[in-house]
Structure 1
């Protein structure tokens, strides 16, 4: 497949060849198109992988002649402390859609007034602030596991709930916004180019056919990642959605998460044996295994097995436990191994309840009801310990 990236490839190539941390980055148009970018997809922000990462929202990039492709939102480390990310944006002017590349700087500049969410509400950034060389996260908008990351605060005033559309460009037909005084000042400050990780991240998206709007019709295969090469979050997000919707039973979730836990252990071992890196062969092997898990997630979510708990106190309790498990997966409070153990227990409870109902004409006697309640209490305490340490 032939792809010409025009000026943006030149910028990326120079950055990869000579990553000057203090290089000046232009905030002008680096590429243009004659068709509007698709609407922003809706996605859940993955949990922050650790201290020092800053959220960079997803955006539509462009490759001639194949069109727009989605670059997933991702947590990245800035070039050095004190820098904030100004997202890329598209602007429409004189019949042309121009791409303005993102950049690092001491303040957030103009990004078209686009509401990317998660702290980027159209003006500035409300997801966190620097306190010396420590980044503090605003948990009102940032998905941070506070049992691991302690540099947090809460400021609900930065939440932008006024934007009802997902328009992804500035100008006629899109978002009508102009730079304010602070943004103009930030635009003229010394800027730093995207990191090599960010450039690799965009390049990877450009080679994935499922990320192109022409193939996904505005619904990318991967919308967000917890870090560059972070496909495992995408898998966990899909599992969490399956648990929450009832399309994945406790048994199916247990099996999937056991496979994820084994793969995670394998990756950790490989990295430990290679100074923190994976060889190309190991990367290929991991990708193949993730493909197989991905296919299993899809098959399990679309088979005839769905979680049905019943309109009764025991059923409501079981459904509530699964929602807590789904939330634990989604926000990173429960790892794959913990989820597998929890769902193994839930599967055992479900089997006991089914057997007791069959033995009693579909109902539970008083002692069986108490037994199920005690089991769910123990399972609930286990979930709480895993989610909150």
Structure 2
């Protein structure tokens, strides 16, 4: 079977109100048409997509709006896509959620710098009220809901926005990802109902009859070396010094690297983590600067102790994640995946794309490579984060299903 035939076969596998799609066509008119043909059979109440920045975004916006004129369409730019075929680049991936099995309420949050905890309280309360009116499960609906965010990945506001929303959501789990731009680090955007936006986030509440599990995992293990942040500009996520030495030079020292070795691939292969309680949270480096400072993808502050990390095996760990999720939700009909761009770099470095793509195909993953992942109130790096959606719960089994 050819790559294109395989794509069509998988994209049209519509079950229990979910459809998955992907296109590698570089013409946005044709790509949007392919996405529509794959998703339309499930009669979606919502479409979510992730696209590379090579597409002319204004034209892509117009075409998607033309095909899906009366439903919610959200999305963002990416640093690599996960389609029905697995890992892709310079493509678009998408999924649709049917109105029979899902109810969705969404909003665009602009001017992230001004977003406050009070704004989150008002917003979440209003959205939950609206969602209850069209819910597909009986009240109380909270245990049958999850929240999803897509954020401008260069806004440097993910922590504040996610913390505010998560607190306001109470027991409703939140999951999401930070938009990318193919590691140019110039312009990352989110999409909401016809238009792309910077300095913005899309926030969505989903009520469903289906089993689901929100998750976040990393595969890295700690080593002995430590770096203490001794000089930092926290508002910019820029570290000037580790251990009272230029940050880039100290990072090179503990990893036996030369300064000229530092690039996105190096940062992916030589990660760092901060320990909070019993857990290690990765703090990924975005880039090295001319003054030998290092810019991070995540929040960083003075006095933070970072631990050198290593990878004992990404493929086996990812397989374990899927096994655990299937124990929780049964067969996965859609996994909305937020896969850190540094995981993608490791896949490329060790030539694991074929094996990882097979895993993702088998478990129906649709997603993108992010500049950061969100789980409840946390903004993370170097994780595979998402929500696995199974089939409808026994008490909500529909009388008719899609074929």
TM-score scaled by structure 2? 0.20
Greater strand percent: which structure? Answer: 2
Greater helix percent: which structure? Answer: 1
Larger radius of gyration: 1
TM-score scaled by structure 1? 0.21
